[in-house]
Amino acid sequence: MKTANETILHIDLTKLEQNFDYFKSILKPETQIIAVVKAFAYGHGDVKISKKLEKLGIYALWVSDFEEGVSLRIAGIKSKIIVANPGIKSYNEIIKHKLDVVIYNQKLLDLYCSKNDNVNIHIKFNTGMNRYGFDANEVSSITNKMNNNSHLKLLSVCSHLAASSNKEKKEFTLSQIKLFKEIIFDFKTKSKQEFYTHILNSNGVLNFNEHQMGMVRIGIGLYGSNEDENLNQISSLKSVITQIRKVRKGDFIGYNNTFKAERNMKIGIVPVGYADGLNRQFSNAVGSVFIKKAECKIIGKISMDSFAIDISNISTKLGDEVEIFGENLHVTTIAKKINTIPYEIYSTLNRRLKRIYSDS
């Protein structure tokens, strides 16, 4: 596909499918997959990603708020869409667009009980994350209300693992799973409805697969940014050199004079900045890019719309391609450089970036 854009986020939907197939291969055939596409599908574009996942046969799509769900419905998505944080004010939009809701406190439950519209419900419990979710001692209250409100269709009961990627926190994760299983047992004895259960996320599936239940929720794993050799990073961010200049020893580069040339240098300017999602912590040689398989350090402070790189030791010209992450730089690797996680690198990618999709 030809484009006039110089900075492009390339997204390979075939790799997305390969990642999906890998997760299916390590799950039981009957285990349903909820695909997490919140935050613009972790920066990858929720409509395109969701349409691909819908074709692959996911059970449902998981979004953060009702607006994300509405935009997918308007785009033609027919699958179940589960809104993790529906809020109080969004009721009419939820019903209008036939969205599922996660209920995690009594106020939300009372709101949906007070109405007469049929709606799919997913009940969430806190098992140690201490964020959203009912407490274990609220089971009786929840089931009493659910049993007396037949317009509420209970599809699943879920919880969220706090440290499934951290092998040093294995005992904590197992304690969460144990508590959740106790909650499920109590819930099933008191509920009139049958329902799925799920607590495993991407890293939960990879590290605690023996505890899979009727469903799993897979997010970052679909995009290929787990430390698992069977998963492929589905995207690459590339730009070009739009300015080349020579600087002399003693010259400063970028805002606040934070970089002073200790030798004569040749530098390149790349039209990507923190407004595009390139974290300023990559400034001053913390981060690198690749040009023609050669690593080039980022120098000076990253600006809103551009950054500088040291190209003193390579042969390059205006218009040459610059890889910010991709084949040579995995998002997991660059995230570690600034003590963050791939989720943040992806989800902060600005929507002004041109996204191009390939699918064989």
Choose, from 255, 297, 337, 343, the residue flagged as catalytic.
255
Choose, from 38, 51, 124, 301, the residue flagged as catalytic.
38
Query: What are the tokens at 48?
Result: 């395109």
- 255 catalytic residue (yes or no): yes
Report the C-alpha gap between 50 and 56 in whole angstroms.
Answer: 10
Local structure of 53: helix, strand or coil = helix
CA-to-CA separations, 26 to 33, 96, 212, 221, 230, in angstroms, rounded: 12, 37, 10, 13, 11
Report the C-alpha gap between 135 and 142 in whole angstroms.
Answer: 10
With beta carbons less than 8 A apart as the criterion, state whether 60 and 156 touch: no
- 38 catalytic residue (yes or no): yes
Report the C-alpha gap between 109 and 7 in whole angstroms.
Answer: 46
With beta carbons less than 8 A apart as the criterion, state whether 93 and 70 touch: yes
Report the C-alpha gap between 211 and 260 in whole angstroms.
Answer: 54
User: 310 - beta bridge partners?
Assistant: 267
With beta carbons less than 8 A apart as the criterion, state whether 299 and 253 touch: yes
Report the C-alpha gap between 178 and 144 in whole angstroms.
Answer: 24
Q: How many CA atoms lie within 13 A of 163 on its CB side?
A: 15
Instruction: Render the burial of 64-78: b for 16+ CB within 10 Å, e for the rest.
Output: eebebbbbbeeeebe
Residues 6+ apart with CB under 8 A from 315: none
Instruction: Render the burial of 94-122: b for 16+ CB within 10 Å, e for the rest.
Output: beebebbbbbbeeebbeebbeeeeebbbb
Query: What are the tokens at 291?
Result: 């040009």
**N-terminal to C-terminal alpha carbon distance within the chain:** 14
Report the C-alpha gap between 150 and 243 in whole angstroms.
Answer: 65
With beta carbons less than 8 A apart as the criterion, state whether 81 and 73 touch: yes
- Residues with a catalytic annotation lie at 38, 255
